[in-house]
A and B are shown apart, each in its own frame.
Chain A
Amino acid sequence: MIKFLFKGILRDRSRSLFPFLVVTAGVFLTVALHCYIKGAEINVIRTNANLRHGHVKIMTRAYAKEVAQLPNDLALTGAGALIDDLTRTYPDIDWVARILFGGLFDVPDEKGETRAQAPVAGLAVDLRTPGGPELGLLDLAKILVRGRLPQAPGELLISEELSQKLGLPIGGRATLIGTTMNGSMSMANFTVAGTIRFGMRGMDRTGLIADLADVRKAMDMDDAAAEILGFFKDGLYSQERADAVAASFNARYAGKTDEFLPVMQTLRDQLGMDMMFDRLNDVSSIIIFIFLLAMSLVMWNAGLVGTLRRYGEFGVRLAIGEDKGRVYRSLITESLLVGILGSTAGTALGLAFSYYMQVHGIDVSSLMKGVNFLMQTVMRSKITPAAFFIGFIPGVAASLIGTAIAGRAVYKRQTARLFKELES
């Protein structure tokens, strides 16, 4: 019977093509949207990882406990040797040292007296090593608003808003007042090489990026780092991989009590990130669920309409003596076949499209001219295991339910009135 129905579906396109196309389109959109949302999730995660957290992060145990306060007195020492060791042990990860610090940016007048002053939140990264990964991770060339990237010692980037607020032009000099690793007050002069826009309110009010070597010198943190961040070389965060790396690293120091020993945390383990992951997951699940519901209604309706269109055909089949149950069962089986075929085709198309989006993505930078803040300009998708079956729910079930409901009309037909109906 299935073979017979299958031939019917293929040969009588008038009754199968429309439902097939509707199911295919619906499933394609469902799979593509699911993968796109997962890709957008990854973009958010990537931005957070690149700017602040890394895929994995190493701090001292003491620093990790008070990380929200940026306690640089508890920073890692001997960072260079540790990075060398990490590079040998985990060659598929790029390691970078960073220092986060707070302070005051003090702009002098002609006499050297304070003309303007503002609190700043600074990020020290390696800006001057040729071919270093930081320029790419922070996408500094893209977020540059005016001026250029730092090239010489003592140069830094400040947020455009801060530059305007302090009246500090490109090439202007100011003193960064902060705290050394020992807690003493530190003062260091810097020249503004360029201004940047982070695209985040807090960072745009007070943010600055300086070279790691300059900040180490200013803060008496020779060969020290507040944090060492690790990034998987393929750029993709994987919780399983991160967990494995963190477990193997932390096992080295298991059973030791020194609070200045290093500890590795995955992106998700870091302050507030578990909540961000959960929120992202909740939001994307809600979006996908709503879309899935809408698509199911469309496909349910297609099953309904497709069956009702064949009202006359059922009459003829009943008139020539076919059993009502058999007609109903054939309808259901046909719908199931159309659902499976449409869902398979839709899933295949959706996966193909998502694969292209995952590998190549769509560069929307031309649409974002003048938007120079830290935001991914290549929109990418991410194929997840769920993408392989998520389309089958609306594709098969919805159209099947639609057909099942509409098909009940078969049982309401009365043989005595069939010929009268067919004549009219």
Chain B
Amino acid sequence: MKRLILALSLAAGAAFLTAQVQAPAPSADSILDRVDRNAVPGNKIVVAEMTIHGRRDSRTIKSKSWIQGQEKAFTEYLDPPREKGTKMLKTGDQLWTYSPDTDRTISISGHMLRQSVMGSDLSYEDMMEDRRLRTAYEAKIAGEEAIDGRGCWIVEMTSRTGEAAYQSRKSWVDKERFLVLKEERYAKSGKLLKNVSVLSAIRVGERWVAERVLFHDALKQGEGTEFKIVSIEFDAAIPEALFSKASLRK
């Protein structure tokens, strides 16, 4: 009897394990949905430091951003003194920058969007990007892999319209946190343009947020740009008037 119970237990255990292994993986679209829900909240205020590791030296730029969904963002640079007072405004598909030295507000468009933000490995195009991956990309699961001991889906994405800043992406999405831990971004030609690695993540309320992220422009030499969140406040009250050109000069 004991043997029978043991055999049944083993059989049940094996069946359970098999069922677990063979459980259908979530679809790529559902993974992207979860990633979007995690990354694109309503309002947030973020104080961040961006350390740019150049070929010569490293320097850190501090900024404060007020972000409303994926449409509107207002950023003021706080440090170093040369950059202090520089402001940027994103409304929809328009991007403006204000320089206190010249007291001019300039629209950033066309090829300027491909320029680096403050010499970092991020471009203005990165800032303008539609963050909702689910709508911008067609996705498929290409496999699974562990990143720093965390199980990840490997999701391959291709731009639906061909108008995205990156034609394709390969993302390693944390299976539990639905946070992209590593990403490769490619041009239409298939050339690797950017590498993104999450160095640490923090939990803020319901969400997991990438606290420290290393961006590396594959076309540039240097050690990349580390983006670090100093503080983040979700669902903050942000006056609508902030997202206007007039507020750039205040």
| Least CB distance, A189 to chain B, in whole angstroms | 5
Known contacts: A112-B105, A187-B99. The answer to whether A260 contacts B56 by CB under 8 A is yes
Least distance between A152 CB and chain B CB atoms (Å)? 17
Q: Assess whether B115 is in contact with A175, with CB atoms less than 8 Å apart.
A: no
Bound complex: CA A185 to CA B77 (Å): 13
A62 at the interface (CB under 8 A from B): yes
* Nearest CB of B to A278, in Å: 33
Looking at A19-27, A29-37, A176-184, the stretch in contact with chain B turns out to be A176-184
- Chain A: which residue is nearest B111 at the CB level? A119
Q: Please report the C-alpha to C-alpha distance between residue A188 and residue B103 in the assembled complex, in whole angstroms.
A: 10
Q: How far is the CA of A20 from the CA of B54 in the complex (A)?
A: 74
CB distance from A163 to the nearest CB of B (A): 20
For B, the interface residue count at a CB cutoff of 8 angstroms equals 23
Q: Are A188 and B106 in contact (CB under 8 A)?
A: no
User: A62 — nearest CB in chain B belongs to which residue?
Assistant: B55
Of the listed stretches B26-34, B116-124, B143-151, B227-235, name the one at the interface; the rest are far from the partner chain: B116-124
User: When the two chains form their complex, are residues A104 and B82 in contact, meaning their CB atoms are under 8 A apart?
Assistant: no
Q: Chain B contacts of A106 at CB under 8 A?
A: 104, 106
Complex Cα spacing A188 to B106, Å: 12
Write the nearest CB–CB distance from A41 to chain B, whole angstroms.
38
A398 at the interface (CB under 8 A from B): no
**Of the candidates B59, B102, B104, B112, which one forms a contact with A182 in the assembled complex, judged by CB atoms under 8 Å apart?**
B59
Q: How far is the CB of B101 from chain A (nearest CB, A)?
A: 7
Chain A residues, CB < 8 A from B97? 185, 187
Q: How far is the CA of A183 from the CA of B119 in the complex (A)?
A: 4
Chain A residues near B120 (CB, 8 Å)? 183
Query: Which residues on B sit within 8 Å (CB–CB) of A185?
Result: 97, 99, 115, 117-118
Asked if B210 lies at the interface with its beta carbon under 8 angstroms from chain A, I say: no
The residue on A at minimum CB distance from B121 is A183
A175 to B98, alpha carbons, bound, how many Å?
Answer: 12
B6-56 contacts to A (CB < 8 Å): 52, 54-56
Inter-chain contact A73/B106, CB cutoff 8 Å:
no
| B residues less than 8 Å from A220 (CB atoms) | 82
Given contacts A73-B54, A73-B55, A220-B82, contact A175 B116 (CB under 8 A): no
A423 at the interface (CB under 8 A from B): no
Classify the interface of chain B: helix, strand, loop or mixed.
loop
- CB-CB contacts below 8 Å: A106-123 with B: 106, 108, 112-114
Q: List residues of chain B with CB within 8 A of the CB of A114.
A: 106-107
Complex CA–CA separation, A423 to B117 (angstroms)? 103
Q: B101: which of A73, A183, A188 is its contact (CB, 8 Å)? A: A188
Contact indicator per residue, chain A 160-191, by CB within 8 Å of chain B (1) or not (0): 00000000000000010101101111011100
Q: Is A125 an interface residue (CB 8 A)?
A: no
Nearest opposing residue in chain B for A259, CB measure: B55
Q: Which residues of B contact A177 (CB under 8 A)?
A: 106, 112
Q: Which residues in A have their C-beta under 8 angstroms from that of B117?
A: 185
CB distance from B71 to the nearest CB of A (A): 22
How far is A219 from B103 in the complex, measured between Cα atoms in Å?
17
- Residue B129, interface by CB 8 Å: no
List which A234-292 residues lie within 8 A (CB) of chain B. 259-260
| Given A62-B55, A73-B54, A260-B56, A183 and B118 contact (CB-CB distance below 8 Å) | yes
Interface set of B (CB-CB < 8 Å, partner A): 52, 54-56, 59, 82-83, 97, 99, 101-107, 112, 115-120
A-B contact pairs, 9 of them (CB 8 A): A73-B119, A112-B103, A114-B106, A114-B107, A180-B82, A182-B52, A184-B83, A187-B97, A187-B101
